[in-house]
Amino acid sequence: MAKKIIAAAYGDPTEVLEIVEVEIPKPGREQVVVRVRAAGLNPFDVKVVSGTLGRSSDKLPLSPGAEAAGVVHAAGAASGFAVGDEVVVYPATAAFAEYVLAPAASVHRKPADLGFAEAASLLLAGVTAVDTLATLRVDGDDVVLVHGGSGAVGSIVVTEAVAAGATVIATASPRNHEHLRELGAVPVSHGDGLAAAIDEARGDQRITAVIDTVGTDEAIDVSLELVAPHRIVSIAAWGRADDGIVIVDGSSEQSRHHRREAVEPLLADAADGRIGVEVARTFSFDDAGTAFAELGGAHPRGKFVFEPK
């Protein structure tokens, strides 16, 4: 038997999350069972469990967790993997468990120089970031405004945009400005005076593209004053789609293609240090409610990770 985190109802994670005992899965011919060493917690998981994205009773009990890293426990004959292989699972289903069953197509070899916690924190944010940049075809001629540049997705957007030669202006709270400078961006504070702060940061340069990771009306309103809607990509401002901005959520074939193609380069870049993966805290399964609650509120920069004991 093995442990797994579930939510039998929607609501406060500290109240609805629980640990259950389940059978260790067995792989089919093209499947892999991975003994989880680390599983990344993402804001999406918090929104699902809290009911922010809907409360369909048909989906209960919930089994959260979309990315993990670990060691192959069992492998199907046609999976291409062997017992003992160190791997990353993305996209994963029910990753907050001691063992995860996944199709071989979702299992990727973990570079030896990349830690399990970092590997389990990379791909969901990473492929999303690459998708936004690819959708806008950002290159060295662009001046890119990134809303939420110090977050998990935003940090990779900034890193990749700078690597492409673009000039990057990124919003964040003042405590994260030095981090953005280290990534190569010009930082500005969100909140009152955002438009003026952006104008000062850009000088005589014209903003050519906007990538929004926060979804606030403030971010979108200011962006619409700077560029045409089709040059604004958002991963969070779903309610503003009628303004003509581009919502990127992995649902289109183009978006899925961008994300598939991004996986191996992201793993290689993280292993080589070209992309930094910052782990803020690690949690045991027993602290799941606390982890979810803290990620849903004010929290330190970096990813939260479960490490099954």
pLDDT digits (tens, 9 = 90+) for 43-62: 999 999 999 999 999 999 99
**Is pLDDT above 90 for 300?**
no
Classify 212 as helix, strand or coil.
strand
| pLDDT > 90 in the chain, percent | 97
Q: What residues make up the domain containing 190?
A: 128-251
Give the bridge partners for 246, in sequence order.
233
In-domain check, residue 206:
yes
Residue 71 — pLDDT band, cuts 50, 70, 90?
A: very high
Phi, psi torsion values for 44, nearest 5 degrees:
-60, -40
Burial label, 60 (beta-carbon count in 10 A; 0-12, 13-18, 19+)? middle
Give pTM, 2 decimals: 0.96
pLDDT of 309 above 80: no
Q: Is the pLDDT of residue 68 over 80?
A: yes
32 has a pLDDT exceeding 80: yes
261 occurs within a structural domain: no
Per cent of the chain over pLDDT 70 is 100
Question: Do residues 148 and 230 share a domain?
Answer: yes
Looking at the fold, whether 133 and 204 belong to one and the same domain comes out as: yes
**Domain boundary pick from 234, 251, 268:** 251
**pLDDT grade for 91, boundaries at 50, 70 and 90:** very high
pLDDT given at position 191? 85
pLDDT at site 192: 87
Q: In angstroms, rounded to a whole number, what is the distance separating the alpha carbons of residues 38 and 21?
A: 18
For residue 136, tell me if it sits in a domain.
yes
225 in the same domain as 164:
yes
pLDDT grade, residue 35 (50/70/90)?
Answer: very high
193 touches 126 (CB < 8 A): no
Q: Tell me, yes or no, whether 264 lies in a domain.
A: no
Same domain, 78 and 186: no
